[in-house]
Amino acid sequence: MFAKLARTGVLITSIAIAGCNDSSMKDFAPEANKPLPDKILADMKAKGMIRTSSVMARIFKEEGKLEIWKAKTNGRYDMVASYDICKWSGKLGPKYTEGDRQAPEGFYTVRPSQMNPRSNYHLSFNIGFPNAYDRANGRTGQNLMVHGACSSSGCYSMTDAQIEQIYAFGRDAFQGGQTEFQVEAFPFRMTAANMARYRNDPNYEFWKMLKVGYDNFEITKVPPKVDVCEKRYVFNQVAADGQTFDPTGPCPTTTQPDSLKSAYNAYQSTYDAAYNGALKASVPPPKPTIAGIKEASIVSDWSKRRARGERVPIDPPSLNNDGTVTETARMGRIDSPAGRKMAALDAEKAAKQKAEEQRLAAIEAAKQAKEAAKAQALAEKEAAKAAKEAPVATATIATPTEAAPAAETQAADAGEGTVAKLKNKLLGMFGG
């Protein structure tokens, strides 16, 4: 009983939301109700389409194209419009994790509740990432859109004039009874030449899987039935009675119409020949691609730091083939409340750090001065001690009392000698 009430509550809520959205479209978002141009309507009529017939979108990153296809009266689809994508972010390759700035690749579903007439980007619709395949493979992210304003951080961004028309195609199809439309997002047109160009890319196996769905549409011109089992996409397969597709479980027993099998085999035979020829041909070099979850995680960390307002390299980092990371030298900070708050905190932190450095420098200078004075005093003390202990060279000087007798003796001796000399002289003169 409770479960029934809960489901009823969800249903009532869904109806309320849908009503609110519808009311909002009429009351506050006139751009969401603009009719398609007369020229497009005339082209549709010439191709056997009506305004409210079913629709689908195809996206090609490398070529920068978003195509709108509509069902003709015979049930097959034909392209009715093609738009140059204004901006898409990231590189070729799927989205792996929140913040890696990758625009998704894969098969997605858009329902009326995903249409946003009051978008901050003029008009938008959520493409439905993560889908069953993404969730089964642990891929994360949210709010991945096709929108206007020509600004992208993981989305496919168009000009405002373009999104008004693209939005109108979806709106009209829903009014005609279509309950959901498919968005197929590819890295490039999955031709033999392009597949040969990217045959050594780490994303190649993923792209080969997408190509099966791509080929099914090329053959039938009808959006393929998409399921997920064993963590991989399967296309146009019908599960045996009583069996279902479990995204993470084993694939059920399936069947496929013989006519489709035959057509696919013929298509594949032609493709194989073209692929072998492309291997020998001169082709343009591949464009940059994301190097798996490792690079996605590096970019995601950069995005988180940027969102916090930290100073980071202007452009997202890139993982090189040798495992090194390339970052631009230019640094910057996002201009947002978070960025301004972080700038103020960084300035306060820098001021505190400078004050602390000055305080420590003053302490160190005082310490060094004290140690220098102590060393000088010690040096002077040692010098005095050394001077006191050193031996002094002296000469013996006779005292006056000792010198006098010596002088008198010397004088007496001198006198006696003189007298003797005179006596001897006189004796010689007088014959004595």
**Which positions are annotated as active-site residues?**
147, 155
The Cα 319–Cα 64 span in angstroms is: 23
